[in-house]
Structure 1
């Protein structure tokens, strides 16, 4: 491909519009997971190229058929999308929700919604600033929606790969071997040994906390998210961008979020696709987890800065430049 910016041990990063590049790559039924955070449907256009209004809705809905066509028969699509607000009004827009609904309801795509997730991130800047910090009539928007979709009722998935560490209370219960069994007010009947099997961790929730909501409660990230958090704590990418005077992509997907779904929905060697690659969080996490990956991005500047991720010493990944020399 003439628009390949670079490749690594496991992946390739292309410059161009995702619609055209996906068609050129001939990926039909080869992708196990599409993991992406598309440009948000904002009322004011930003540098990373979002559309707005009905134009956005039409464009986004049309992507469903294209994305579905490249999925493996048991593949998944995971889309992160934040909230949108009406221009100059303290009112949430319905555009992002209508876009997601229209995407999954596109009859030509044959998709279904497997589950909705919420990603809570207290580190997000107070927004929308006008109504939160100036007029002070709204609360901080601190979460994004994540929709997990598939072309199958039973896509590849295993929640045992994204277990959370047991709570202190559960660890004590396993040590004691005793449990208050019997009938609950909910009319569920708990057997004597129903909670005494050590499954090496508890099943993850569909609310993903990047930091704990309750500071007095222990944060129990899934093991996959915890391992990537160790990378984030050192944040080679952000520090290097700062040193070089580079302004990072303004809407980066959290590393923990990407690693969670890659672990949950793929095996080593599977192909992960990000049609809106940006600074390439998806490719970076896929590389660390030994998955094949392809990322596509229309903005050359974001493509250039994404190379920094693969220079992180702990990754030990080789980079080969493509047709575009930097």
Structure 2
């Protein structure tokens, strides 16, 4: 494995993540979170398997992930849906992944999540835009797998802001709430109006993937590096990193891409490892960890040195990166 760069908390590698996983100690990882290339009909520039071979290909990674996870660890997998070739009928590949991982590899489905991306463009064009017989596909499934039935988790770290009505209730419970039995037969007391610091989130994650002018994208354009075409929105790994890990835990992304996961883990003071096959994408992902004060030439120098096979310590080798 080629180590590309290191930061205060993590390290990015260029190469096959199967090799990386084989080298890691068993039961050493707290969380693997990743968004692999999906099983699409059209081949993308970042590489993706066809639906016929996809499940077996992904299973090879999952087998190693199972061995490397701690008993309390989790495997969070983002998968986009797809249509069958030439017809307006959905593929079941993402559900077959779920069944195979649980029935054959020994994973447990801790919970399913649905990531709604409201900024996603209508697709496939043939069925949505032209024939107008299907609605826009804007939801990915995110499977939260665990090694045991009791993985480490704490939702108090991912509470969401209260609604305006809940805020009014908390300010004046007597005025806005009367304890009564619901039509379902459940009774809710006034203890319901307790400020717990936020509301419990749901498993529907409404997160727009519309980051087209962020620092990573701007810096890639600035130095002429290729922008990864399928970037993970930062709020996805951030949510699961906060909920499923604690400071100094180890987070791994086996399909690192532009390394959004590593950046989120660094911010949350988690140790992290990221790996991607494409050395140019790995080199460009280092831009996420460089200070805005660095000049175009300095950022380009970091990128080219990593592409050319150097391993950089962004804390020690790059004094400006510590500012």
**Which TM-score band (shorter chain)?**
0.7 to 0.9
TM-superposed deviation, 1:87: 1.9
Structure 1 residue 159 corresponds to structure 2 residue 155: yes
Determine if the alignment matches structure 1 residue 174 to structure 2 residue 170. yes
TM-score normalised by structure 2 residue count: 0.86
Root-mean-square deviation (CA, aligned residues, Å) is 2.2
- Structure 1 residues 181 and 50: CA distance shift in structure 2, 3 A: same
Structure 1 residue 198 and structure 2 residue 183: aligned?
no
The number of equivalent residue pairs is 298
1:207 correspondence with 2:242 = no
Distance 2:137 2:47 in 1: 22
3-state SS of paired residue (1:105):
helix
Gaps of 5+ in 2: 294-301, 312-323
The 8 Å contact of residues 64 and 104 in structure 1, kept in 2 or not, is answered as no
Contact 2:4 2:309 in 1 (8 A): yes
| Partner of residue 135, structure 1 | 131
Q: CA deviation at 1:15?
A: 1.2
Stretch deviating more after TM superposition (41-50 or 198-207): 41-50
Q: Is the 8 A contact 1:35 1:273 kept in 2?
A: yes
Separation of aligned partners in 2, 1:121 and 1:43? 21
Query: In 1, are the aligned partners of 2:226 and 2:280 still within 8 Å (CA)?
Result: no
Secondary structure of the 2:49 match is coil
Counterparts of 2:165 and 2:213 in 1: how far apart (Å)? 31
1:292 offset after TM fit, Å? 0.3
Cα deviation, residue 245, structure 1 = 3.7
Point out where structure 1 has 5 or more consecutive residues left out of the alignment.
Answer: 212-228
Equivalent residue number for residue 185 of structure 1: 183
Contact 2:40 2:48 in 1 (8 A): yes
Using the alignment, how far apart are the partners of 2:66 and 2:97 within structure 1? Answer: 16
Match of 1:12 in 2: 11
The CA distance in 2 between the partners of 1:100 and 1:59, in whole Å, is 14
Tell me how far 1:313 sits from its aligned partner: 3.7
Residue 100 of structure 2 corresponds to which residue in structure 1? Answer: 102
Distance in 2 between the 1:104 and 1:275 partners? 20
Deviation of 1:324 (Å): 1.3
Question: What is aligned with 2:262?
Answer: 283
Contact 2:34 2:78 (C-alpha < 8 Å) held by counterparts: yes
Q: What are the superposed Cα offsets for residues 161-180 of structure 1, whole Å, 9 maximum, x if unpaired?
A: 00011111111111113221
Q: Distance in 2 between matches of 1:279 and 1:258?
A: 13
Give me the TM-score of the superposition, normalised by structure 1.
0.86
